[in-house]
Structure 1
């Protein structure tokens, strides 16, 4: 294996694990760009840790974090390379992050809409949130508003507050409901992923108070300082009951507002435009649009980290065992051979969620002084 023409063995195991969990064929290739977006060459003499950093967005702050941690791979849910590049230079801040990561031997993988589509993926996690199937394990996850919001130099508004999703959750019995995929993925569908597709429709067995659903959303997403909600004219949030919820992480218009699809009682997504929200409430539906990535980030803590860790441990053990068995005594000789042998001998597997990742929008709310 040449150190100049391939990625690190551990990196290859990460990519294989992600593809097993979130098949790239289930991503919406009509617009999306998923897969291994940056493949850093393997340098056995300067080996990275067998660690993965999960993030929603690959920002400069997250890149700094990965470099400091000496991770092998950043799994960035949103693709940092979305459209074709004509150049890759230090003038562009995002390209600068990619070049710095490559220099440090860190690869970047982006799964995006494959995570939305799979059974048990991000859309189903949001279904668990609204049905009360998951709850934070920490009693401190529900701070009072006064303790959550910091004072500001502004005399009218608090400092910007950014939600911090619960780091761990427990499974609870959900409110009785059925769920279905709004736009099933086209065939061929990989075995075991038959219910894959964009968006989910939750239908409760009995109508639920809208205020109770709002409380569940707040709990599951880290108690944001404000929850934007669009309300039909001449209706009251306190009096509203919800039977159906249309769910789409991120930007939901292309999934929830497609022509010919009946509108549910509540649309729960990251963002809709002004006119899209207006069209929904004119048709009698409520809308909760929580800021794009606030509907996504909690999944990394609640589900993806453990899923990837479990799969990656098995994958890495198989890769390293096979490689160590195939390495001849001659191949182990010299500095390169010893470093390569050491890389395969390393049993460590770490998957963490970024501490620096956050939605670009925070909430400044009216001061309660």
Structure 2
């Protein structure tokens, strides 16, 4: 008689918790692929830890991390599967990661635009940054993001080895550092003193019909300040809110200067905002990336643009919001599931229900593919 194949009970608790926090019907199903993308079989003999690894992208490095940590499930914001598959082979690098995780008993869940559209989701987190609203983690004191140290740990891969020799060598060429966005392990508890600027906000594209559990949900956010705000102040807020990177792109109309521009309205979109911003009449567009022509058209219309590289508008949310929110929800869901499924799973699997631990961590190997190359002479 064949053995019944099931998912790890803890992984099911995590999926249930994610679906309660960010219902999958919030997502834009016209193109997105959200939900449980890899349901790994449960082996009670070699079962995983009761731990979740949060990441924006499920890369080979993140898959290695999850396997080393012995996680039960990876919650990857971006779906690793977007289109239908005719085969799953080792020839494809992303499929390699899925096959390796499945072999280890690690499942993968992707919420993507369900988080974007949710009340209190990614759109509101970015709106909180731009308006000076305190960035908090549920149930904890206010937080702020510390600047990256001059000499980060080697294992963070924040700075690569110089591709050119130093100026004092025979080649006499400048040396450069490749600086990636600050790792989320650098988020520290501090005592920030933010000032909440009076404003109104609403989705750029509201959910239609409204979702019963997220009545103010929708894609993007449109912020209107009661009084114009200096662009320089908003740039400072953005930099602080996402971890003080060494630099990021900004576009302003020709003839203007950062100090001369005041902003009354802001269009906000995590990731890539081009399609959502089409026809949007605001003073500032704040997103992860815009194409060259989209940015050029914006400044020709008199708008300003701030981009951070795609995933740098998303990664901080995992640490500042999702980590604590999901841990609380999983603790409740795991406690319920342990009570309800006692006596139903068979003797070997029952041992998994004895473990009440819950851990949710953010990947330290996840990062945007782009970094900033900085001349040592400018440091």
Residue 205, structure 1, aligned to residue 226, structure 2: yes
Counterpart residue number, 2:187: 167
Superposition deviation, residue 151 in structure 1: 7.4
| 1:98-177 to 2 correspondences below 5 Å | 98-134=98-134, 141-143=146-148, 152-154=162-164, 155-156=173-174, 158-164=176-182, 165=184, 167-168=187-188, 172-177=194-199
Output one character per residue of 1:213-262: Cα deviation in whole Å (capped at 9) or x when no partner: 111111111111111001111111111111111000000011112x4xx3
Q: Distance in 2 between matches of 1:341 and 1:9?
A: 10
Contact 2:146 2:188 in 1 (8 A): no
| 1:58-77 to 2 correspondences below 5 Å | 58-77=58-77
Superposition deviation, residue 159 in structure 1: 1.5
**Residues 320, 353 of structure 1: CA spacing in aligned structure 2 closer, same or farther, 3 A cutoff?**
same
Count of aligned positions: 355
| 1:75-90 to 2 correspondences below 5 Å | 75-90=75-90
Superposition deviation, residue 203 in structure 1: 1.0
Q: Distance in 2 between matches of 1:232 and 1:12?
A: 51
Q: Distance in 2 between matches of 1:290 and 1:270?
A: 5
Counterpart residue number, 2:170: none
TM-score normalised by L of structure 1 = 0.90
**Residues 179, 145 of structure 1: CA spacing in aligned structure 2 closer, same or farther, 3 A cutoff?**
farther
Superposition deviation, residue 6 in structure 1: 2.1
Counterpart residue number, 1:183: 205
Counterpart residue number, 1:226: 247
Contact 2:220 2:276 in 1 (8 A): yes
Task: Give secondary structure in 2 for the equivalent of 1:159.
Answer: strand
Contact 2:228 2:262 in 1 (8 A): yes
Output one character per residue of 1:170-201: Cα deviation in whole Å (capped at 9) or x when no partner: 785522111111101122x4322011110101
Counterpart residue number, 1:347: 356
| 1:26-37 to 2 correspondences below 5 Å | 26-37=26-37
**Residues 323, 209 of structure 1: CA spacing in aligned structure 2 closer, same or farther, 3 A cutoff?**
same
Q: Distance in 2 between matches of 1:21 and 1:29?
A: 18
**Residues 144, 12 of structure 1: CA spacing in aligned structure 2 closer, same or farther, 3 A cutoff?**
closer
Superposition deviation, residue 34 in structure 1: 0.3
TM-score normalised by L of structure 2 = 0.88
Residue 322, structure 1, aligned to residue 344, structure 2: no
Contact 1:3 1:43 in 2 (8 A): no
Q: Single out whichever of 99-108 and 78-87 deviates more from structure 2.
A: 78-87
Counterpart residue number, 1:334: none
Contact 1:10 1:50 in 2 (8 A): yes
Contact 1:134 1:220 in 2 (8 A): no
Q: Where do 4+ consecutive residues of structure 1 move more than 6 Å?
A: 136-140, 144-151
RMSD: 2.3
Superposition deviation, residue 4 in structure 1: 4.6
Output one character per residue of 1:60-119: Cα deviation in whole Å (capped at 9) or x when no partner: 000000001110100000000011111100011110000000000000000000010000
User: What are structure 2's unaligned runs of at least 5 residues?
Assistant: 137-141, 153-157, 165-172
Superposition deviation, residue 132 in structure 1: 1.6
Task: Give secondary structure in 2 for the equivalent of 1:124.
Answer: helix
Q: Distance in 1 between matches of 2:331 and 2:288?
A: 33
Output one character per residue of 1:105-164: Cα deviation in whole Å (capped at 9) or x when no partner: 000000000010000000100011111213597788135779997873434352211122
Contact 1:79 1:110 in 2 (8 A): yes
Residue 242, structure 1, aligned to residue 263, structure 2: yes
